[in-house]
Amino acid sequence: MSYQKIGLICAMEEEIRLLERDMQAEQTSVIAGRTFYEGVLYGRPVTLVQSRIGKVAAASTATTLLDRFGVDCVIFCGTAGGIAPDLHTGDVVVADKLVQHDFFDGVGWFRIPLLDKSYFETEPVLTEGIRRAVIEYVRDRLKQEIPQAHLDEFRISDPKVVTGTVVTGDQFICDPEKNRWIAEQVDNAKCVEMEGAAVAQICYEFGIPCAVVRVVSDGANDNSNLDFERFVSEAACHFTRGALKAFLENAE
């Protein structure tokens, strides 16, 4: 793998803040209300941007990133609600494919008309590189970076890293019924979030490889909203920075 310029997207401000701080930004451009930071991060040329929340925000940001900044791959990092029963707060899902759970064309669920496709695959080599980087971060650095009090508060002990389907829709899922429906309908559903499949679809249409990484913040059930903001600013941003640092420093 040898990418010339990597596009990095996070939905939330707290998530890009640490990256912004570590980056040597050479140029910033504001397009459609988003700030695109071009520069060097952990030794690699990147363009970093905050998409904001939801599929439209993510798709339009990815389109600008690909069309105007010439990135040759895209990595999206953020949080998600766990769908697979064995996932807990702090576990990490690396997507091998993504699907939109709220897409219904009048006949059936998920299939995107004209593209004739329901699941959008991530690029396997890029995904494996990210998976290794997350494992390295969780094993070697997580506990030095996130204070024990925060790990205890969020009940993060020994996070595992899994690969599977990341499920996207314009809803924060906090309903056990909907959670169950997604688990039943989607092949190998691991977690639910609000941007990934939109970015994966745009990357597919541009013919550009992508990867999506999500740290589990909640169980996508009744208790979902509990301390979400704190989780992002005290824990998720460290996972994102740690995984990207390990990935970018090791990438050829």
Site for ligand ADE in 136-175 (CB under 6 A): 172-174
Q: By CB under 6 A, is residue 212 in contact with ligand ADE? A: no
> If binding means CB under 6 A, how many residues of this protein chain bind ligand ADE?
13
Residue 16 burial (CB count, 10 A): 24
Candidates 38, 91, 218, 234: give the one binding ligand ADE (CB under 6 A).
218
**Amino acid in position 74:** V
Nearest to 76 by CA among 144, 1, 154, 10: 10
Q: By CB under 6 A, is residue 181 in contact with ligand ADE? A: no
Please enumerate in sequence order all residues whose Cβ is within 8 A of that of 12, keeping only pairs 6 or more positions apart, or say none: 50, 53, 78, 232
Q: By CB under 6 A, is residue 79 in contact with ligand ADE? A: yes
Nearer to ligand ADE (CB atom), residue 74 or residue 173? 173
The CA R_g of the chain, rounded to the nearest whole Å, is 17
* Residue 38 beta carbon to ligand ADE: minimum distance, rounded to whole angstroms: 28
Q: By CB under 6 A, is residue 193 in contact with ligand ADE? A: yes
Please enumerate in sequence order all residues whose Cβ is within 8 A of that of 144, keeping only pairs 6 or more positions apart, or say none: none
Q: By CB under 6 A, is residue 217 in contact with ligand ADE? A: yes
CA 3 to mean position of chain CA atoms: 19
So which residues are the catalytic ones? 15, 218
- Contact residues: ligand ADE, CB under 6 A: 79-81, 172-174, 192-194, 217-218, 220, 224
